[in-house]
Chains A and B, each alone.
Chain A
Amino acid sequence: MRVLGTIAALIFWAVGSAMAAAPKDSCITCHLELERKQSEPAKKFDSDIHHQAGLGCADCHGGDPKDESMNAMSRAKGFRGAPKKNQVPEFCARCHSDIAYMHRFNPKMRADQLSQYLTSVHGKRLKQGDTKVAACVDCHSVHDILPASDTRSPVHPMNIATTCAHCHADPNHMKGYNIPTDQVEKYHKSVHAEILAQGDTSAPTCSTCHGNHGATPPGVNSVANVCGTCHVFFAQLFESSPHGPAFAQMGLPGCVQCHSNHEIVKPSDDWVGVSSTSVCVTCHSAGDKGYTAAQKMAGDLAKLKTFYGRAEDILSTAERSGMEVSSPKVELASAHEALVKARVNVHTFNDAGVQKLTDQGVEISQKAYQAGVVALHERDVRRKGLGVSLVFIVLAISGLYLKIRQSESRPHT
């Protein structure tokens, strides 16, 4: 009995000292006991990256986490309280703009978020007293802040559009700003959103083109540059085409003029040309150089597609009939490549380059088509062979039949 008692006492002492050894954060312990809104920060803080880094409430809000009385939140103890909306950026920047301090935690981390923010529309308006705009906590959340690489973070690439939409897609919130509220809706119809949804985080989202902390919509003259960071060839060709300087002069927004800014859908070949679905006739009319070029380019693309289609059809017919057409199929792939390149070259808005490519493609398609013709001819040879063997079979059958008749017309012995 005595032994058991000693062991129990030892256990209690060990557990007790372990509990005592844990650093007591009075902010958390008190706030957990409070009502909903007051206890929320304490409840959420477990997952926060600051918590993971070993920081506590007092590191941002000041005060004394060891003091269990209300005195912990006194001015004397350095308590800063919760910042007002227009004080939030400086509140966070106390650490986040201190390079030396930040590099203790992450040597690669940037420390210019505040200076960038102050150049943005959000930052400027906040300084003017508009508390409806976004500040740090509106995008990054607060008390449960996760790094941008965490898929649960509101600023993870997959979630950014939803985060921006919180304000920018809310007509009530955006009343009075005179900017549209359908950007995110349009973005979701775009090719970029589709690719992003498939998991390719290199696909552009709002912050890719607009910036994140220094968020500013690209000006009319810088659109091509922005798109051109990824769509290199198109931007280069565009800048050196007649449209480059012309659009700049007219104040037209480069790529966006034809491709839209948010609702960027997969372009189709009939955008080029002079039909009702083409974008060229928005500005060009019959007789001017642009109209002619558009017409020619559309014709070239259509011609290549026709020849390519024919070759593809005949080769798959041949293949389904059991013919070996792998070589012509490989050759035909380069015709498709020519089509892809021609579509890029459309952005020179000059028929010469486009036609050169489509002519190459047409030539290759014609060769492939010929190979298909040969394969089908071989198939027909087979059928003729069949015909011949059927003739022999019919002969044999006729012979048999007559033989039977002959042998049975004589009385049996």
Chain B
Amino acid sequence: MSTLSRRILAWLDERFGAGSIEDFLRHKTVPQHRHTVWYYFGGMTLFLFVIQVLTGILLLLYYRPTPNDAFESVQYIVTQVRFGWLIRSIHSWSANLMVFTAFVHMFSVYFLKAYRKPRELTWISGMLLLFIVMGFGFSGYLLPWNTLAFFATKVGTEMAGAVPVAGKWMLTFLRGGEEVTGATLTRFFGFHVAVLPGLATVLLAMHLLLVQRLGMSVPPSVERAIAEGREPTRSMPFFPNFLLRDIIGWYAALGVLGALAAIFPWELGTKADPFASAPAGIRPEWYFLFMFQTLKYLPPKILFLEGEFAGLVGFGLAGAVWVIVPFLDYRAGFGRVTRFFTGLGIFALGFMVVMSALALR
């Protein structure tokens, strides 16, 4: 390191105490084993989130969140603003990529049991972040105010109304009224650019802090292999080795996003007309498809419950179970692999994939 940078860091260290951070980073290591590749997905999701924030801020410079102007402002961005097409398409594609990497990250953590003690809070904050990411997706989808988005939002918020007692209140809260109107758009915009980012920042800070404090988890199988002397303990320094690899992945993601934006630009659609009838084949974005498809298969009544409501309850329970899995699979804390949870994970993943595939047919 040059003297100049050394001096700047020393200056900062006197004020921030940054020296300890620097020390920490220097000494942070990442375990190396056959499952190391999964460690990259958290950072990739974070990177894509940063891309979303940056492109989102740029879009904010031109977007107008009213029914009269929303569609036209997106049209303006895509056709008049220089490189607007690029920013908008990157934002839309990166949103989908981020949801994908978030799910991969979550499932890899699940199957490698990284949620076990002492990382329970990391898991919980991560699950909450996943829900927030899906909330970002749902709220952002409405903003271009095109036909598909309008009706997908209508169908999606309708499901909230199926919950008894609280359902009506939830529906009017989400929609800003009885129907999907300009009030809904304003509200979703508020969620998308203020509420959710705020929540995400707080949870992200907690999540990252915990990861730094607790270090990277090593899968139980590897831990056992090391204990039994079948495998050596290998690790690489976070800085620069792991980080450089991270950066390669991030560059590759940028390349993919650019290619998608230029070759498969995100559609503008047609402006939403609340009084027109819904076009055939309305469905939500792909990450909601498995729920959408399941609800379609449910019979009108299950025992004494209305079918749709029962489905929602089912998903709610499943979600709740998933969030508290570190406490349910407490045996993992002792390094024991309980097959039941592995099976449950495979079932969940399989279910989501099969349902989504069926919805796409």
Contact = CB atoms under 8 A, between A and B. Distances in A.
Interface in B258-295: 258-259, 261-263, 265, 267-268
A404 B244 contact: yes
A382 B240 CA distance: 35
A390 B255 contact: yes
B270 to A, nearest CB: 12
Contacts of B251: 393, 396-397, 400
Interface string A392-413: 0110110011011001100010
Given A322-B78, A322-B79, A324-B79, A401 B248 contact: yes
Interface in B76-99: 78-80, 85-86, 89
A323 interface: yes
B240 A407 contact: yes
A90 B160 CA distance: 72
B301 interface: no
B259 A390 contact: yes
Contact of A400 (B248, B258, B261): B248
Given A322-B79, A390-B255, A382 B262 contact: yes
B248 A397 contact: yes
B247 interface: yes
A407 B241 contact: yes
A383 B240 contact: no
Contacts of B78: 322
Kindly name the residue among B79, B252, B255 whose own CB sees the greatest number of chain A CB atoms within 10 A: B255
Interface string A362-398: 0000000000000000000011011001100110110
Kindly name the residue among B258, B262, B263 whose own CB sees the greatest number of chain A CB atoms within 10 A: B262
B237 to A, nearest CB: 8
B254 interface: yes
A325 to B, nearest CB: 9
A320 B263 CA distance: 11
Contacts of A401: 248
Interface in B310-360: none
B245 interface: yes
Given A322-B79, A386-B262, A389-B258, A408 B248 contact: no
Contact of B252 (A382, A397, A403): A397
A403 B251 CA distance: 15
A386 B79 contact: no
Contacts of A396: 251
A202 interface: no
Interface residues of A, number: 22
Contacts of A400: 244-245, 247-248, 251
A383 B263 contact: yes
A321 interface: yes
A390 to B, nearest CB: 5
A321 B258 CA distance: 15
A317 to B, nearest CB: 12
Interface string A291-324: 0000000000000000000000000000011111
A382 B85 contact: yes
A309 B223 CA distance: 68
Contacts of A382: 85-86, 262
A404 B80 contact: no
A390 B255 CA distance: 6
Contacts of B268: 322
A6 to B, nearest CB: 57
A323 B237 CA distance: 48
Interface string A318-351: 0011111000000000000000000000000000
A397 B263 CA distance: 22
Interface in B231-252: 236-237, 240-241, 244-245, 247-248, 251-252
B29 to A, nearest CB: 11
Contact of A321 (B86, B245, B265): B265
B87 to A, nearest CB: 12
28 contacts: A322-B268, A323-B79, A324-B80, A382-B85, A383-B262, A386-B258, A386-B259, A386-B261, A389-B255, A389-B258, A390-B258, A393-B251, A393-B254, A393-B255, A393-B258, A394-B255, A396-B251, A397-B248, A397-B251, A400-B245, A400-B247, A400-B248, A403-B240, A404-B244, A404-B245, A404-B248, A407-B241, A408-B236
Given A323-B79, A386-B263, A400-B248, 19 more contacts: A320-B267, A322-B78, A322-B265, A324-B79, A382-B85, A382-B86, A382-B262, A385-B262, A386-B258, A386-B261, A393-B254, A393-B255, A393-B258, A394-B255, A397-B251, A401-B248, A403-B244, A407-B241, A408-B236
Interface of A: 320-324, 382-383, 385-386, 389-390, 393-394, 396-397, 400-401, 403-404, 407-408, 412
Interface of B: 78-80, 85-86, 89, 236-237, 240-241, 244-245, 247-248, 251-252, 254-255, 258-259, 261-263, 265, 267-268
